[in-house]
Structure 1
Amino acid sequence: MKEGLNKTSDPDTGMGRRRFLNSAAAAGLAGVGMAACSEKPATAVAGASAASGSATAHAQGGSSVHLKPGELDTYYGLWSGGHTGDMRVLGLPSGRELTRIPCFVPDALVGWGVTNESKDVMGRKADGSLRYTVADTHHTHASYKDGNYDGRYAWINDKINSRIARIRLDYFVCDKITELPNVQGFHGIFPDKRDPVDPAINYTTRVFCGAEFHIPLPNNGGDIDKIDKYRTLFSCVDAESMEVRWQVLIDGNCDLTATSYDGKLAATNQYNVENGAKYEDMMSAERDACLFFNVARIEAAVKAGKFKTYGDSKVPVVDGTRASNADAKTALTAYVSVPKNPHGVNASPDGKYFICAGKLSPTCTVIELNKVLDWFDGKLEKLDQAIVAEVEVGLGPLHTAFDGRGNAYTTLFLDSAVVKWNVEAAIKFHAGDKNAKYVVDRLDLQYQPGHVNASQSETIAADGKWLCVGCKFSKDRFLPVGPLHPENEQLIDISGEKMVLMADHPVRGEPHDFIIFKRELLHPKQVYALDDFPNAIKDPKESGVVRNGRKVTVKLTSQAPAFSMREFTVKKGDEVTLILTNLDKVEDLTHGFAIPKYNVNFIVNPQETKSVTFIADKPGVFWAYCTHFCHALHLEMRSRMIVEA
């Protein structure tokens, strides 16, 4: 991150917010708690080490999770919010929650789901109301360039309603949401790391999405009792347009997703190759699969018109079933057998391997990607030959992270532990060298861990500094708060040979996956660009009320400590669209706007424009006021909405 972004000054005016608050307040208010404010920036410069001067450093490189006041974290973390339907942004190693980015579910703080702009992103019914108001976010990943994160986008899924949201990482806001057609239980998600069709395009152009649940296709009331005809689709979404490019009809289901560093392969682990509809049927087979997708061949098939569509969807669907892909030289998919009910597939930073964890088998399976490509090229007789290791690591292995030094870290749900094991040693052991000691370390966790990720884990720049584990149960770790316990996210130092547990963090359920990356990969903007908003009111003189029959547009601006109109009048029954532009340019000078009894509350950040539409169905006087502290005269910042009977 650039040093300038850590200062409290505005790039245009050079005026710090503290100085602004001082100078803008009337002289008679100088003593109202403002004299203590200083022009000196309160934050440390970007180059400061997160471990410097810490009181709780330990032997592994002096690493610490405790930062001094004003000291900045060295990593960003993007976390799923679970049932809150948002994305959490953390600073690491401190574990401090920096913000939440609303996506799929209304958010009262910023007015997400209240403003017209957010409703348009979320999706509306014909009557203008939101299509969905619940969500279940699981997985979040970010865009790549040259095998590392590029700071452009992040994506997150909604499992309930099969939606994918894109986050702009320059402003940390959701700008697009797409609903996948003919899909239920959308779970796994991963962007490609480069374009496989054009090697010169070395950045993310697509995002792959897996669906867990089998449904009739199309799901319009037919074939309800014909479970053997239920099918699942694997989807590809365009990273820029957020349109669904294509889908693949498969046998079995999808769970999680991974992509190769050369852009040629995407994969999903499958825990239900039986196509079972009941849990006992889903675990009857001793082996399931890691299903590989040959991206270039699929896109060539779509271009050649070798697809069908389902229901009202126009998205092309190619046939990726086993029966239609037996010939390796023309196959679009490849089913590699792995044990049993795996829960997770992850790509090693060296680009060589995908690792599937067994869940109902105490094993991790290491699949060599070049051998999968050899099978597609007809150079490998059997797909099983792509498996170069299948080793026991403990009970209930779920997910795997990497340190960039050849070691993998796998969570053991039933053992309540994380195991560190060396991939190359495991390959030697599997090849017959029983003296190869592949298990390096093991650490007990509290309790029953699920997702795991390490700093820069699935990039070429994996640095082996920090590991975070999401534990599904906390029990005795925190103060009791009634029957609903928090979950426990635990931070581990992995910079040395031994793992060291550094911190517990209680978290409201139920978060899932996350990524951790160095802060210098992001360059967030502190102030919006006024010209980015087509309906921006650029001058307070443009404020006013415009009537078109019973439709009324109210144009307002905000500049601390006042709105541009002290009052405005509409009539009962009017459809009112209120547009508000924040003309303040000072970093962190956000305004809110709320109208009592009208279910209106939202914020506008510096140079941002938002709008709301409502029916003025209650006559009277309604004091619209700023809800976000902005100024010494914040409480006086109001406007009267008068609704004439």
Structure 2
Amino acid sequence: MDEKTKTIEQEETKKGISRRGFLGASAAGAAGVAGLGLTGVMTPAQFAQAADKARHDAKHNVGPGELDEYYGFWSGGHSGEVRILGLPSMRELMRIPVFNTESATGWGLTDESKRIKGDSADVLCGDAHHPHMSMTDGRYDGKYVFINDKLNTRVARIRCDVMKTDKMLTIPNVQAIHGLRVQKVPHTKYVFCNGEFRIPQPNDGRDLNDPTKYFTMFNVIDAEKMEMAFQVIVDGNLDNTDADYTGRFAAATCYNSEEGVTLAETMRNERDWLVVFDIHSIEKAIKAGKFQTIGDSKVPVVDGRKKANSAYTKYIPVPKSPHGCNTSPDGEYFVANGKLSPTVTIVSIKKLPDLFAGKIKERDAIVGEPELGLGPLHTAFDGRGNAYTTLFLDSQIVKWDVKKAIEAYNGKKVNYIKQKLDVHYQPGHNHTTMGETRDADGKYLVSLCKFSKDRFLPTGPLRAENDQLIDISGEEMKLVHDGPTFAEPHDCMIVHRSKVKPKKLWTRDDPIFAETVAQAKRDGVTLETDNKVIRDGNRVRVYMTSIAPNFGMTEFNVKQGDTVTVCITNLDQVEDVTHGFAMCQHGASMEIGPQATSSITFKADKPGVFWYYCHWFCHALHMEMRGRMIVEKA
């Protein structure tokens, strides 16, 4: 290469494209032009466009062996699970079973998972909606992800060091937990979640046909203990929620201000509410003993109903049936998304102290109400003053300037809409990278579309939905990825990989299997070395180790009718060397990660020989890793 050519390539590299890349882009661009039926030499404009596309594509490419920049946590909708994706590749990395039953890991089957599920251990399904990570000082801390089960009124917690569900709570006094968010500052002391459906209180058979006695509640969970902290009675049906950056306020969209039970009854009023909760005043009231309890529940409950003129809540009128509730990353605003109105409502958080002090009226807290399009559902932010709202009916994402929208509300003639991008089709939730924190970085936005229609190969009447990745780092939004997803993924959150520190191996004292370890001690068993059978009447506990490619016990005997618990400790210390245990014809299946202990209980109800084997590939002799359970006839 001569000196002149070398200098040119160095200059091109500084501009973000090498000579080789530029020529590659030219070839790609020429192929693209040919594909469009155009012939001839590329014009300079076409050449530049092709080069720009090559740079853009390379920016989002994650090559073999390369790591993604972000973790994405996707709700699995009515699959009941949480999925981990890498961004920008959109590769699915892992599925975390939560409210579902899952045979690969044994979730819902193992003794450990049943203990975690607690009083809902026999519930085999769920409807997972809103995953949100714990925070410290308004920033993701990589400790937990919380997720709600709308179907069975539960909230679960996932430990991000092992990516396993470690706690689950059934919420009392309410039905259908929908919106869920975490307290952002000073840390996630609380998880806020909405009870959506109004029910009689207590719901014990009284007042069945008297809807005037129905109500629901705003629910606050102690995030560390995973126990109820308190509840707030409200008017209407709560939908989505979010928290501020002071720790004092949370807000929730609320529909059905009519308090009806049929569709027609819930659609009469032109306005519903954004309900704002003063968390500090509620805490003080509970500390002073100013609360009630309902039915058998011991959870403190305060009355936050509008009709009670509550000091704990304010009901800000917004257009009917608002849906999404989102906090801007600068901490300035709550945004309530209209759904049945083409507008979103911008509420100033700085004005809320005056609202609670009675210095201003509810609508005075509103500083903007921009008209965006048909069916605004959810709003995300890029940290540069821009907001991105999904338009369900228009099948679009609209990018708009928050400050200009406020100026327009005050009478200034400005154009606050920057761009509208078609998505496919009918988007619900959207999410920007780090967008729910102070660290919103404005690189990517994900649109979770409810329909895919013609985007993928047809799969019969039931089709995948569509997640779309959009580059928002420049002035214009650019679609960079389509990806099928199943079932209804509903919502997601995206965190930079630097915030998450997963373990490579389990530690032997992990609390997830602490009760199993305690039982082994009571049986006089050392889990790391012993392989033995403990008989306790017709209950049999089988302890064994595993190290590739052997189980510590290759056969054991029980009697027909025995209840058998198999407890396995994986002694391998190499990451990736996970073992499994699957007992033929007994519905028993579980995962045992390296250095973990897992147990599963089943009934040996038929005489005969039954093979157990490792079903997670672990060794060249993996197929030979097996043993026999011999069931003697009763």
The two structures have a TM-score, normalised by structure 2, of: 0.89
The DSSP-based 3-state class of the residue aligned with 1:255 is strand
Q: Which moved more, 1:303-312 or 1:486-495?
A: 303-312
Is 1:140 paired with 2:131? Answer: yes
Partner of 2:46 in structure 1? none
Is the Cα contact below 8 Å between 1:60 and 1:495 reproduced in 2? no
Aligned counterparts, 1:634-645, within 5 A: 634-645=622-633
Q: Which moved more, 1:57-66 or 1:341-350?
A: 57-66
Partner of 1:5 in structure 2? none
In the comparison of the two structures, how many residue pairs are matched?
577
Q: Compare relative contact order (CA 8 Å, sep 6+) and give the higher one, 1 or 2.
A: 1
| CA displacement 1:182-222 (0-9 Å, x = unmatched) | 1112100001012xxxxxxx211110010111111111111
Of residues 547, 551, 561 in structure 2, which corresponds to 1:573? 561
Is the Cα contact below 8 Å between 2:527 and 2:544 reproduced in 1? no
Is the Cα contact below 8 Å between 1:63 and 1:493 reproduced in 2? no
Q: Which moved more, 1:270-279 or 1:582-591?
A: 270-279
Q: Residues 256 and 559 from structure 1, CA distance in 2 versus in 1: closer, same or farther, beyond 3 angstroms?
A: same
Is 1:193 paired with 2:184? Answer: yes
Q: Letter of the aligned partner of 1:181 in structure 2? A: P
Partner of 1:419 in structure 2? 398
Is the Cα contact below 8 Å between 1:61 and 1:495 reproduced in 2? no
Partner of 2:485 in structure 1? 507
Aligned counterparts, 1:252-401, within 5 A: 252-325=236-309, 331-378=311-358, 380-401=359-380
Of residues 248, 264, 269 in structure 1, which corresponds to 2:232? 248
Partner of 2:146 in structure 1? 155
Of residues 104, 107, 111 in structure 2, which corresponds to 1:116? 111
Partner of 1:620 in structure 2? 608
The DSSP-based 3-state class of the residue aligned with 2:206 is coil
Is 1:463 paired with 2:437? Answer: no
Partner of 1:175 in structure 2? 166
Cα drift, residue 65 of structure 1: 3.5
The DSSP-based 3-state class of the residue aligned with 1:279 is coil
Cα drift, residue 550 of structure 1: 1.7
The DSSP-based 3-state class of the residue aligned with 2:353 is helix
Of residues 45, 65, 83 in structure 1, which corresponds to 2:78? 83
Cα drift, residue 325 of structure 1: 2.8
| CA displacement 1:245-271 (0-9 Å, x = unmatched) | 100011111100100011110110012
Cα drift, residue 340 of structure 1: 1.9
The DSSP-based 3-state class of the residue aligned with 1:385 is helix
Of residues 222, 225, 246 in structure 1, which corresponds to 2:206? 222
Q: Distance in 1 between matches of 2:449 and 2:82?
A: 18
Q: Distance in 2 between matches of 1:526 and 1:618?
A: 40
The DSSP-based 3-state class of the residue aligned with 2:168 is strand
Cα drift, residue 324 of structure 1: 2.6
Partner of 2:620 in structure 1? 632
Cα drift, residue 137 of structure 1: 0.7
Q: Distance in 1 between matches of 2:278 and 2:408?
A: 30
Aligned counterparts, 1:2-21, within 5 A: none
CA root-mean-square deviation: 1.7
Q: Letter of the aligned partner of 1:259 in structure 2? A: A
Q: Distance in 2 between matches of 1:58 and 1:294?
A: 50
Q: Distance in 2 between matches of 1:63 and 1:431?
A: 43
Is the Cα contact below 8 Å between 1:205 and 1:239 reproduced in 2? yes
Structure with the higher helix share, 1 or 2? 2
Cα drift, residue 64 of structure 1: 3.7
Cα drift, residue 323 of structure 1: 2.9
Q: Residues 466 and 508 from structure 1, CA distance in 2 versus in 1: closer, same or farther, beyond 3 angstroms?
A: same
The DSSP-based 3-state class of the residue aligned with 2:280 is helix
Is the Cα contact below 8 Å between 1:187 and 1:255 reproduced in 2? yes
Q: Distance in 1 between matches of 2:527 and 2:261?
A: 61
| CA displacement 1:464-494 (0-9 Å, x = unmatched) | 0000001111111110000011101111000
Q: Letter of the aligned partner of 2:400 in structure 1? A: W
Q: Distance in 2 between matches of 1:565 and 1:541?
A: 11
The DSSP-based 3-state class of the residue aligned with 1:248 is strand
Is 1:165 paired with 2:156? Answer: yes
Structure 1 residue ranges (4+ consecutive) displaced by more than 2 angstroms after TM superposition? 53-66, 323-326, 531-541
Structure 2: which 5+ residue stretches go unaligned? 1-15, 29-51, 518-524
Q: Residues 124 and 429 from structure 1, CA distance in 2 versus in 1: closer, same or farther, beyond 3 angstroms?
A: closer
Q: Distance in 2 between matches of 1:167 and 1:539?
A: 26
Q: Distance in 2 between matches of 1:610 and 1:540?
A: 13
Partner of 1:448 in structure 2? 426
Identity of aligned residues (%): 53
Is the Cα contact below 8 Å between 2:529 and 2:545 reproduced in 1? no
Is the Cα contact below 8 Å between 1:60 and 1:496 reproduced in 2? no
Q: Letter of the aligned partner of 2:372 in structure 1? A: V
Q: Residues 540 and 373 from structure 1, CA distance in 2 versus in 1: closer, same or farther, beyond 3 angstroms?
A: closer
Is 1:497 paired with 2:475? Answer: yes
Q: Distance in 2 between matches of 1:58 and 1:373?
A: 49
Q: Residues 250 and 63 from structure 1, CA distance in 2 versus in 1: closer, same or farther, beyond 3 angstroms?
A: farther
Of residues 88, 91, 103 in structure 2, which corresponds to 1:93? 88
The DSSP-based 3-state class of the residue aligned with 1:392 is coil
Is the Cα contact below 8 Å between 2:506 and 2:593 reproduced in 1? yes
Is the Cα contact below 8 Å between 2:527 and 2:543 reproduced in 1? no
Q: Distance in 2 between matches of 1:59 and 1:369?
A: 43
Cα drift, residue 567 of structure 1: 1.0
Of residues 536, 540, 546 in structure 2, which corresponds to 1:548? 536
Q: Distance in 2 between matches of 1:60 and 1:315?
A: 57
Q: Letter of the aligned partner of 1:416 in structure 2? A: S
| CA displacement 1:394-421 (0-9 Å, x = unmatched) | 0110000000000000000010101000
